[in-house]
Amino acid sequence: MATDAGHPGRTNEDFAGAVPCGLVLVDGAGGITGAQEVCHHGIAWYATRLGGALLGALGQERSLRDVLAEGIERVTDQHRDTCDVAHPISPFAAVAMLRFSGGTVEHLVLGDAVALVGRAAGDPVVAHDPREVVIARAFEERLKDVPEGGDEYRRLLMELRSRRNSPGGFWVAKDDPAVVAEAVTGACPAHDVTGAALLSNGASRLVDTFGLTDWPGLLRLLETAGPAEVIARVRAAEARGGVATDDATIICRA
């Protein structure tokens, strides 16, 4: 595993962890100006609590969707009485999970994280949900034309967040466990799996933003050089292109 905070001096809002039967990655996101008044715990707290709940339940004989639904409900209950959990700027997260059991490798992705499963008999399985990226890209173009931090900038961010967890929008872990119905799931026979990884969107940029390799190439790089090297290459590409950094995390299993 490797992780790197995208903003010096700010808390890394990604979480990753492993248990013998699987891996979990939670990419926390959310707050804009005023978020502390909505939820005083913060994004990193939400990501860590949700990640811990998922790891603790991963070994249960339940679907990954059920594991995630219970995790969302449990963490929401922990701050429901002190925070406005349903507010558009309260903390939320993308989630990716892998579980190794019963001769299969199962995956689940909710939001813009990536689950990558290498296979001996074909191309790797790449599980991701592009809906947030597609919607956010349109808003990014509009945000370029307004002063950052101004009223119009905040209005556009609120409009973007209103598309979250609603029909025609994108879906993430937040306060409503029903969102698990929108998760991308699947399974592969364990005997065909050559390796697997979970990546936050800050780390998957090497492929899906910069195009410096493809998914099979990324798996080979993880095997030969490790996740820290992948993140180092992402940071180098961001510096060359003047691209803003994001928290970047990879957890993988050979």
Domain ranges in the chain are 12-129+171-253, 132-164
CATH number of 12-129+171-253: 3.60.40.10
pLDDT (0 to 100) of residue 50: 98
pTM over 0.75: yes
178 alpha-carbon distance from chain centroid: 18
pLDDT (0 to 100) of residue 33: 62
Find tokens 């399974």 and name the residue. 187
pLDDT (0 to 100) of residue 30: 60
pLDDT (0 to 100) of residue 19: 96
Residues of the chain with pLDDT under 70: 30-34
pLDDT (0 to 100) of residue 154: 79
- The number of residues making up the chain comes to 254
For 178-192, b where at least 16 C-beta lie within 10 A, e where not — what string? ebbebbebebbeeee
Tokens representing 206 are 């090497």
pLDDT (0 to 100) of residue 131: 85
For 13-52, b where at least 16 C-beta lie within 10 A, e where not — what string? bbbbbbeeebbbbbbbbbbeeebeebbebbbbbbbbbbbb
Residue type, 125: V
For residue 156, what are the β-bridge partners?
none
